[in-house]
Chain A
């Protein structure tokens, strides 16, 4: 979905709406190549809910006004969150747009009791199984050993608490699979910390151990105390309400046999 907007003097600005983890966004830009790349990249996530927040890409000088709530810079590209809207400046390619979208989501999800986690998510019997760990822990291996169509992401998972239930959402943020993703969600069955081993074995974790497993793998980019307090509050709730396990696994699909139903 696209609609030309008024000309800002640097070419017609176009916009399209998308929703990632039920966070409604509207991207607005004048770069036709970037627009085409973005609409293709996020095709599975187009269409937003009510009141999407507008992200103005490369929209020129920042207007005078109140200070921003959150800023982040990444390889020459910058994100600025204002109360009246969001700006992505210096975005020259799809990779930068993708990176700033991830950063923005980590911020927006604070208001939705949610967070992004380095984890593969696999749907099995209608429930989401999350496999977390740093690079090399085996997230992509787990994804590759799971049935086609059951993987929501092999790299970055999105969790939200809705009506007392934790749900995992598909994201367009993938690793080795480089898939487009699916804009669907499922209730969370459990979070599994990956440890490659000779034998498949699962060990239940106490909430504090789940929190320890989550913290190094959560994506978050603010150094301010208050947002970090809110994040820690959300993660503590997740650690208390979601079942968590250590999963020692061999690189074969037999690991599913030791997982709790």
Chain B
């Protein structure tokens, strides 16, 4: 089940990552798994800061890429869900805590 578009997201603080050649390489030290994000994914990753929702991230995508708001939100939510399933991002409660 996908999270509401208003939910706030942040990067999993246990990860290491680096942007190189417009791509982002993410390392999960606990299981030594490497993940990669393309240009658009890297853009979203950079803007996942513990203060923005999927809807706000999608707005940034519309401002910087040639994409309609509907598709931007749909793609953003899909990417966040995918990253969430890989434990790359976590949601933030309204109180500021990280949701398990």
Interface set of A (CB-CB < 8 Å, partner B)? 206-208, 211-212, 215-216, 222-225, 227-229, 231-233, 235-236, 239-240
Contacts and interface: CB of A to CB of B under 8 A. Distances in A.
18 contacts: A206-B21, A207-B20, A211-B25, A212-B34, A215-B34, A222-B29, A223-B29, A223-B30, A224-B29, A225-B13, A225-B29, A227-B29, A228-B29, A229-B16, A231-B16, A232-B18, A233-B18, A236-B25
B27 A215 contact: yes
Q: Which of A206, A211, A231, A240 has the most CB of B within 10 A?
A: A211
A228 B30 CA distance: 10
Contacts of A228: 16, 27, 29
B67 interface: no
Contacts, number: 45
A232 B25 contact: yes
Interface string B31-70: 0001010000000000000000000000000000000000
Contacts of B20: 207-208, 211, 236, 239-240
Nearest to B26: A232
Contacts of B17: 229, 232
A210 B25 CA distance: 12
B21 A232 contact: no
Contacts of B13: 225
A225 B16 contact: yes
Nearest to A225: B14
Given A206-B21, A211-B25, A232 B16 contact: yes
A231 B25 CA distance: 13
A231 B15 CA distance: 12
Nearest to B15: A225
Contacts of A227: 29
A211 B13 CA distance: 22
A221 B99 CA distance: 28
A67 B27 CA distance: 26
